């Protein structure tokens, strides 16, 4: 068989690796639009900060590693058109030379592209003027070129989601004075505002100026093209705010890149992402899709859109198995996420209260705290928890955690993700046999203490 994976990031490479693993006789070609296959986009903030010493270290595998598996890499090659009836993919190389590649099955992993918000002047300014979007290695090189110019000391970040917060830390670590602007009422809006407020305080503790409830209206050059950058915004009360900057970074989210698949006739779904079933099949024969360009099958919500690297890896693997004639379904996502912001770690999985209510559950959310390990052992810190479960049967629906770096927040949220995946109740979490030693935990782990706090609150609420 001849399989083609379009895209050299998580979904494309996972598809190629799994196909070669299952069938070493399969011819697998990966069409990569740039020269950076299998690079960790998630690691970019840590290269910008200097914690990752060289950009090449962001590669999960080297070019040689990938070729050693037997896959064929076509770098700097753009997929132009899928001819579904002929089972052919038309590509152009870096010189613009057109070529037609035949396939038995093709996987579209074109990913996502950054959203450019409707801000005056944004379409007229780019990396040469110090205004950047950030999503690819080329974007990274453009940003580092700006940061290496003389006199670069002030950065304005538009957006306070995961990447925006990581970049706030990265640029601060690099020595810049950072201002972070978020249109919503609190930073990190994927968790409840009570936890977002703690992240907000952590940013300010490290010198970041944070402006929430603030809309960016324009990015422009003061005093003409030779002047410094200025970000004009409207504050919570409508007041005009002006932020001078040497570099402006816009990170307000992504949208699925579906142009190639849509032109071939692929159906689109939630947020314009490619519709796929749980075998990663599109409506087109022998055309599969995976990663940030497709809809996400969520275990609690059904079909939604959640672009995330871990999901893309799994979907690519599933696509490969089905392209080879096997039968495998994507188990679904829970939106499990974690982010480090200076000395804090924040994580979530499953649903928050309002999300569960919209999905027609009967959610009950309880906030609690528990130490990350026994308080008598030095260095213990509280973990802030927000448990959401169905009030009718106690089924765990979601959890949010916040703790100090080193308090194993990421692994504790994984316990919750496993519990939700297996439709466990909150009460059943106390039955789990979890590891304990005083420097690392307690006889009742923090995650179990939170579960018991939810049970107590639920019983009290039932009596009133």
Domain pair 2-111+254-323 / 343-463, same fold: yes
φ/ψ (deg, to 5) at 263: -65, -25
**Alpha-helical segments (H) within 264-389:** 309-323, 353-358
CB-based contact 254:272 (threshold 8 Å)? no
* pLDDT at site 224: 64
pLDDT digits (tens, 9 = 90+) for 353-390: 999 999 999 999 999 999 999 999 999 999 999 999 99
Is the pLDDT assigned to residue 223 strictly greater than 80? no
Average pLDDT on 250-272 reads: 97
Catalogue the E-assigned strands of 104-187.
105-108, 112-114, 131-133, 154-158, 177-182
DSSP structure string for 332-356: -B---EEEEETTEEEEEEE--HHHH
Among the listed residues 336, 449, 323, 335, the one whose alpha carbon sits nearest the alpha carbon of residue 383: 449
Q: How far apart are CA 262 and CA 267, in angstroms?
A: 7
Distance CA 74, CA 204 (A): 45
The predicted structure's pLDDT at residue 405: 97
The two three-digit tokens of residue 44, written as one number: 């970019």
Phi, psi of 430 (to 5 degrees): -65, -20
Q: What is the pLDDT of residue 463?
A: 87
- Domain parsing of the chain, residue ranges: 2-111+254-323, 122-250, 343-463
CATH-assigned architecture of domain 343-463:
3-Layer(bba) Sandwich (3.50)
pLDDT band of residue 14 (cuts 50, 70, 90) is very high
In DSSP terms, 178 is beta-bridged to 155
Reduced to 3 states, what is the DSSP secondary structure of residue 38?
coil
Nearest 5°: phi and psi at 429?
-65, -35
Cβ atoms of 385 and 399 closer than 8 Å = yes
In CATH, the number for domain 2-111+254-323 is 3.50.50.60
Query: What pLDDT was estimated at residue 225?
Result: 64
Q: Determine the pLDDT at residue 222.
A: 80
Mean pLDDT score across all residues of the chain: 96
pLDDT at 12: 97
Class of domain 122-250: alpha beta
pTM over 0.75, yes/no: yes
Task: Give me the percent of the chain exceeding a pLDDT of 90.
Answer: 97
**What is the mean pLDDT of the segment spanning 188-192?**
97
pLDDT tens-digit map of 15-73: 999 999 999 999 999 999 999 999 999 999 999 999 999 999 999 999 999 999 999 99
């Amino acid at each position: 068989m001849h399989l083609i994976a379009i895209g050299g990031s998580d979904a494309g490479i996972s598809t190629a690796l799994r196909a070669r693993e299952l069938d070493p006789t399969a011819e697998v070609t990966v069409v990569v639009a740039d020269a950076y296959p299998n690079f960790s986009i998630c690691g970019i903030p840590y290269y910008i900060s200097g914690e990752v010493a060289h950009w090449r270290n962001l590669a999960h595998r080297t070019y040689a590693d990938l070729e050693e598996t037997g896959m064929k890499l076509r770098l700097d090659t753009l997929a132009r058109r899928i001819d579904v009836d002929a089972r052919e993919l038309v590509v152009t190389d870096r010189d613009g030379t057109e070529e037609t590649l035949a396939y038995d099955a093709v996987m579209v992993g074109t990913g996502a592209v950054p959203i450019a918000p409707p801000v005056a002047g944004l379409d007229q300014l780019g990396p040469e003027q110090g205004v950047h979007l950030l999503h690819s290695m080329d974007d990274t090189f453009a940003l580092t070129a700006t940061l290496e110019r003389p006199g670069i000391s002030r950065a304005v970040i538009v957006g306070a989601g995961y990447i925006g917060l990581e970049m706030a830390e990265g640029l601060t670590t690099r020595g810049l004075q950072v201002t972070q602007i978020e249109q919503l009422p609190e930073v990190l809006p994927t968790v409840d505002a009570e936890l977002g407020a703690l992240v907000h305080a952590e940013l300010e503790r490290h010198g970041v100026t944070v402006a929430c409830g603030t809309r960016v209206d324009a990015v422009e050059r003061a005093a003409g093209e030779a002047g410094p950058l200025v970000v004009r915004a409207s504050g919570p009360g409508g007041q005009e705010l002006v932020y001078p900057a040497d570099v402006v970074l816009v990170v307000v989210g992504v949208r699925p890149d579906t142009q190639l698949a849509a032109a071939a006739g692929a159906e689109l779904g939630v947020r314009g992402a490619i519709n796929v079933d749980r075998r990663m099949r599109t409506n087109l024969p022998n055309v599969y899709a995976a990663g940030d360009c497709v809809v996400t099958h969520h275990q609690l919500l059904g079909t939604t859109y959640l672009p995330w690297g871990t999901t893309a890896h799994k979907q690519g693997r599933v696509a490969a198995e089905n392209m080879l004639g096997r039968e495998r379904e994507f188990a679904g996502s829970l939106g499990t996420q974690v982010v480090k912001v200076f000395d804090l770690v924040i994580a979530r999985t499953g649903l928050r209260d309002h999300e569960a209510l919209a999905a027609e559950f009967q959610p009950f959310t309880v906030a609690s705290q528990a130490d990350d390990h026994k308080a008598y052992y030095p260095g213990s810190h509280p973990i802030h928890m927000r448990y959401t479960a169905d009030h009718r049967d106690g089924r765990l629906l979601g959890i949010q955690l916040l703790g100090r770096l080193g308090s194993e927040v990421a692994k504790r949220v994984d316990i919750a993700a496993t519990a939700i995946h297996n439709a466990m109740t909150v009460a059943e979490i106390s039955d789990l046999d979890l590891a304990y030693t005083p420097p690392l935990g307690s006889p009742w782990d923090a995650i179990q203490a939170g579960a018991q706090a939810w049970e107590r609150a639920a019983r009290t609420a039932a009596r009133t």
